[in-house]
Structure 1
């Protein structure tokens, strides 16, 4: 049957990807070298070579490209996207001081909206179709409503993980206003925003976070928590959660980078999962990225970007960094035993799974998204860029996604079968509006801090570098001609 010749699909029109490498990420990790994916009524209708398609089908040439599931980011502070790159030279200490103690309270509801808007647009541009907005800047219900409004204005699938770093979780999570917000959001028809609750357990012997867990349970909300963060959250908090019965399969532990065996055993025993933010852990100081430990204890992992105040906003970078960190540790452990690693344990295929099905499982959405399977929601990404020399030859699809591809190579993005990016360009996004909102937020923050503080906070003091004294000295007898002298002028430059 001849397929429709159009520049763009109509709403509800069937779509077929033709002749691509299809990375299914299903239970058997089916990999098809030249196949089609048919989308009808917002779901995947068929997968296979040379599929028959309806006559009105919109065809996308996927040859020389990879068709994959939409990616899932399980931990991103979208509200901080307005500060992109500001904290590039921060440690976690500077992050805590800036957001928690000094300037996080300066963010108005409209600033939360601006950051969420830009962050959500950035996510879908990079093929991330589902994002957990770890939104711990919600000082008031008005801030929360602004966060939701921004997310609902951008096509995508979002989980608002409600948090408030300006108040204790046992205060805001138990308030009538918070319960009312939850009930109101749940009643909104056709919203693309679901809810979680986000707070940390500090290890206070009194375990004051208990009432926040109880509130979450009463409201039927899963909890996501920063666990195993050096100097902030530790094994005591995990033990408290475990003893109180608050560790569940729905719990997502972010980072889990500085825990002991007991904590990892508890996470594994209760069926939880870990969101690994490798770029963050490597740079900020939560602890060494934990994938090599998670394997030892049988704990499932997903990937996340954390915050654009430091790092990238795409899971290609997260996959790349995760493979690098895991392999570096594996090599180092072998070297310390005076041994040589000959085969890497973590493979490119594994991090692609973390970026797709790993995230879907963590959120309890693996029956709907995370893999390309007939009947699932059509969250589909085509990675293809005919203008990029890095996109050919396409030999190892998993390796290509993990080490070669980047956001500019995302050709097409479908969410629930609706096209939101095509031919490497976002659709329906007015960047003038987005930029205007971000500029307004930056102007507000700069004026609030003052020019001196703005510059100083962005450029923290550099510690003194002490060079180790060199015990070796080497001198030449000036009467002896050295081979290296030949061809050198008086200034030591080699003219040969």
Structure 2
């Protein structure tokens, strides 16, 4: 099937000059430039400034009325689950565990991993997420891993495969000859377009069986990403065991990190680890309250993620908005409980935009490569511009506009590694029809495996009965013309 074509004016190899944008560089030395230009040559950002001269062979993109910013970085996305997008909209975390971990995760085939990854990868770059960590814990064996890699390489984004197997013991699969052969097959030479991590959780078992998986990561020089501080699943014991055995390092990302105590946060901070917040997930599923307020207190580096499209949105606009709102909601609630009033917000819009860009780059060890519009860095660039939208003008507070006003529909142009992957609000260089066909086959297969009754029950979990509190202000016998209720006596 054909891929969407690249417009003639974007001939590969020609320099690109973004002209007259509101530039959010995310580089403190450059700051915000109103009426700024960014010149891209090859894979790199060459210059950032105002009134830059256009090379004779350059394509000039008029960014007037738009915001130019670095590509966003998602540090935790279960991409393989995207083929069942929205299926678990009403789930709790327990229902998610029952579906994937206990009952139905095992039915997925390599081609289903491929389908989910393909759709998710396209969805990411379409929303201006130029780098995504594929937290791929559905890889039952390396054939599944091969399918995940094949899908990621088919889409012109920047990805990190976080290899995991929720149905297996990480100390076993991480040390198996098959996994070592997989690493040699796909990652014998490392680059910044497709990275590799190990993805597994630490249960808190006093025997610390995960030691073998950490040893494998150390031997292979791979970062580790782990779901930590998840209410009812992973807790302070896991953090303590990692600390006592010397496996807390700057290369570890702690996903969620909600339900932890002071010692755990102090250990993460002291070891240089980073936390990936998935606020939409944490607010809805119940891992614990989104921990941005805790991370600020302990000075822990932070990034953002969206978790899984089986529940939530697949973009970081939603993640930024939800995170800022959750942080402020907690501040107000605590203050009002003490009969006080918040007069200054501690978390600002600029900070969550920083977490969505440079925060993710730091977490992945790519701070010198991506995350800001800095000359010399790779050209992962996003232009937010939508002349048809009444919500895209005026742009008064640029960071606030990105967080509270803009959305995926406003993503006009996306560059990854200097390559145009979206232009004039349309993906280019991808085969969307192929992704739809693959996802359709997975949905049909999964529905057939579950059966219609189970399919419906899983999608619409039973709602337990709740006690309805009587309302003393409702008196149906007094209702009539012009009279709806009467005041309660006393």
Secondary structure, aligned partner of 1:37:
strand
Q: Shift of residue 133 of structure 1?
A: 0.2
> Which has the greater radius of gyration?
1
In the TM superposition, residue 185 of structure 1 has moved relative to its aligned partner by 1.3
- Tell me the distance in 1 between the aligned counterparts of 2:310 and 2:59: 39
Shift of 1:193: 1.6
| Cross-structure match for 2:259 | 258
Counterpart for residue 45 of structure 1: 46
State the TM-score, normalizing by the size of structure 2.
0.95
Cα deviation, residue 176, structure 1: 1.1
Match of 1:385 in 2: 386
Counterpart CA distance in 2 for 1:390 and 1:477 is: 48
Equivalents in 2 of 1:323, 1:223: separation in Å?
A: 27
Cα distance, 1:488 vs structure 2:
3.3
Number of the residue aligned with 1:346 = 347
The alignment's C-alpha RMSD in Å is: 1.8
Give distance in 1, aligned partners of 2:192 and 2:122: 17
- 2:124, 2:131 → 1: CA distance? 8
Change (3 A) 1:312 1:477: closer
Residue 488 of structure 1 pairs with residue 485 of structure 2: no
| Partner in structure 1 of residue 488 of structure 2 | none
Residue 283 (structure 1) aligned with residue 277 (structure 2): no
SS in 2 for 1:343: coil
Take 1:282 and 1:48, find their aligned partners in 2: how far apart are those partners? Answer: 40
Once the 2 structures are TM-superposed, how far is the Cα of residue 149 of structure 1 from its aligned partner? 0.2
**Cα 1:459/1:51, change in 2 over 3 Å:** same
* More off after superposition, 155-164 vs 189-198: 189-198
Are 1:438 and 2:439 an aligned pair?
A: yes
Counterpart in the other structure of 1:200: 201
Residues 92-131 of structure 1: matches in 2 within 5 Å?
A: 92-131=93-132
1:12 touches 1:42 (CA, 8 Å); kept in 2? no
The answer to whether the 8 A contact 1:227-1:233 is kept is yes
Superposed CA offset, 1:148-170 (max 9, x none): 00000000110000000011111
Shift of 1:428: 2.2
* Residues in 2 aligned to 1:104 and 1:12: alpha-carbon distance in whole angstroms: 44
The answer on whether the counterparts of 1:34 and 1:49 sit within 8 Å (CA) in structure 2 is yes
Matched, 1:68 2:69: yes
Moved more, 25-34 or 339-348: 25-34
Which structure 2 residues correspond to residues 30-429 of structure 1 after superposition, within 5 A? 30-187=31-188, 192-429=193-430
Gaps of 5+ in 2: 1-6, 486-490
> Structure 1 length as normaliser, TM-score?
0.94
C-alpha contact (below 8 Å) 2:279/2:323 kept by paired residues? yes
Q: Distance in 1 between matches of 2:184 and 2:70?
A: 31
C-alpha distance in structure 1 between counterparts of 2:476 and 2:234, whole Å: 57
SS in 2 for 1:221: coil
For the 8 Å contact 1:152–1:191, the answer to whether it is kept is: no
Q: Within 2, Cα distance between the matches of 1:43 and 1:254?
A: 31
User: C-alpha distance in 2, partners of 1:453/1:445?
Assistant: 11
| Cα separation, 1, equivalents of 2:176 and 2:318 | 39
Give the Cα–Cα distance (whole angstroms) in 2 for the partners of residues 407 and 150 of structure 1. Answer: 22
1:306-341 deviation per Cα after TM superposition (whole angstroms, max 9, x unaligned): 000000000000000001100000111111111100
Distance 1:113 1:220 in 2: 26
Question: What is the CA distance between 1:466 and its match in structure 2?
Answer: 1.1
**Residues 18, 139 of structure 1: CA spacing in aligned structure 2 closer, same or farther, 3 A cutoff?**
same
Pair 189,285 (structure 1): closer, same or farther in 2 beyond 3 Å: closer
| Residue in structure 2 matched with residue 462 of structure 1 by the alignment | 463
State the 1:182 CA deviation: 1.1
* 1:431 to partner: Cα distance: 2.1
Structure 1 gap ranges (5+): 1-5, 479-483
Query: Secondary structure at the residue paired with 2:10?
Result: coil
CA contact 2:158–2:192 (8 Å) conserved in 1:
no
Compute the displacement of 1:429 (Å): 2.4
Change (3 A) 1:477 1:65: closer
